[in-house]
Homo-oligomer: A and B are copies of this chain.
Amino acid sequence: MEYEAANIHDLTRGAQRILEVASKLFYEYGIHAVGVDTIAAESGVTKRTLYNNFGSKDALITRYLKNRHLVWWQNLEERLDIAEPPRALAFFDIYAEDARTITRGCAFHNAAAELPTDHPAYAVIRYHKRAVEERFVELIAEEQPATKDPKRLGRHLFLLLEGAFTHHGIHDRGLLAEAREIARELLI
């Protein structure tokens, strides 16, 4: 990893609740819009505890995105393990499933919109997106060996997915389902 890994289990119970609450609020309302007082209050701890555990808001933001990546990635691999070929479509299914419970598009893109590019969390964003893209390309290369340019097809599908999921935050016009359908045709 380009950044220090961060396991939830290193955290005390209170700290875990802080991270949960912060994740929900940061995603729902945006990072700048949510203050540490709010996060502490919603977590049922004092602001002092928040600072004792995370050090600063910026560090909490970074932890939020690291954790989001880890959880999401684990879910991805589990789903891929049980998916039937073409497994690239499982990617679309995961996003579609996410979209049923969360409604503001991609947490990483949203964070990128708010943070300065030299923020510690920005490295996590870059890492995550790159990892997803590469996993996609890898998958295509494995399962569609007959494709003349697996890398291009992988990126092609990746872009479809990114476009559709990002849009989900703005206006759902069935783009995720349509992207999946387009992908399905491309994989035949």
List the number of copies, as a whole number: 2
Q: Which of A3-11, A70-78, A106-114 contacts B (4 or more CB under 8 A)?
A: A106-114
Q: What 1/0 mask marks residues of chain A from 145 to 188 whose CB sits below 8 Å from any chain B CB?
A: 00000001001101111111011011101010011011000000
Verify A166–B169 contact, CB threshold 8 A: no
Query: What's the least CB distance linking A174 to chain B, in Å?
Result: 9
Q: What 1/0 mask marks residues of chain A from 10 to 44 whose CB sits below 8 Å from any chain B CB?
A: 00000000000000000001101100000000000
A107-156 contacts to B, CB under 8 A, are: 108-116, 125-126, 129-130, 133, 152, 155-156
Verify A104–B113 contact, CB threshold 8 A: yes
15 contacts across the A-B interface (CB closer than 8 A): A30-B115, A109-B170, A113-B114, A126-B170, A126-B171, A152-B181, A152-B182, A156-B160, A156-B182, A158-B163, A159-B163, A159-B164, A159-B179, A162-B163, A163-B164
Q: Which residues of A contact B (CB under 8 A)?
A: 29-30, 32-33, 104-105, 108-116, 125-126, 129-130, 133, 152, 155-156, 158-164, 166-167, 169-171, 173, 175, 178-179, 181-182
The 5 closest A-B pairs by CB, nearest first: A159-B163, A163-B163, A110-B113, A32-B32, A162-B163
